[in-house]
């Protein structure tokens, strides 16, 4: 049982490049989400999914796309990287999609630098 896994751990991009951050969980959790963490700002929700085939925007969705074709995987795509997207990205999952918030299980994070 690996929990939530993220790849890559580190990435450097040039402005304008695109890439996909991978996230997978093996706990059969319904809910998955992507956050970014910047100094002094806490974690901010980018996109989330309440189940396969269903995604929605969070607080800071611009410049990012997501899809959820399976319960296990929730990739985050950067369409055209910008220096403002330099951040640490965390993927998280929770057993249930609705109701009161449950424990969020976080992946180890991806540290992205955009030059």
The residue ranges that bind another protein (CB under 8 A) are 31, 35, 40-45, 48, 50, 56, 58, 90, 94, 96-104, 106-109
Our CB check for another protein shows the closer of 16 and 95 to be 95
Three-point CA angle 52, 18, 74, nearest 5°: 15
Q: 13 preceded by cis ω (within 30°)?
A: no
The nearest distance, CB 80 to another protein, in angstroms, is 27
| Residue 6 burial by Cβ neighbours in a 10 Å radius (0-12, 13-18, 19+) | buried
The nearest distance, CB 71 to another protein, in angstroms, is 15
Our CB check for another protein shows the closer of 16 and 108 to be 108
């Amino acid at each position: 049982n690996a929990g939530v896994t993220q790849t890559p751990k580190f990435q450097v991009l040039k402005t304008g490049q695109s890439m996909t951050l991978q996230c997978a969980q093996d706990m059969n959790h319904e809910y998955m989400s992507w956050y970014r963490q910047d100094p002094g700002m806490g974690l901010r929700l980018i996109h989330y999914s309440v189940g396969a085939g269903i995604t929605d925007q969070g607080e800071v969705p611009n410049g990012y796309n997501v899809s959820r074709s399976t319960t296990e995987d929730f990739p985050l795509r950067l369409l055209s990287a910008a220096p403002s997207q330099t951040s640490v990205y965390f993927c998280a999952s929770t057993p249930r999609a609705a109701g009161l918030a449950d424990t969020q299980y976080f992946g180890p994070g991806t540290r992205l630098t955009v030059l």
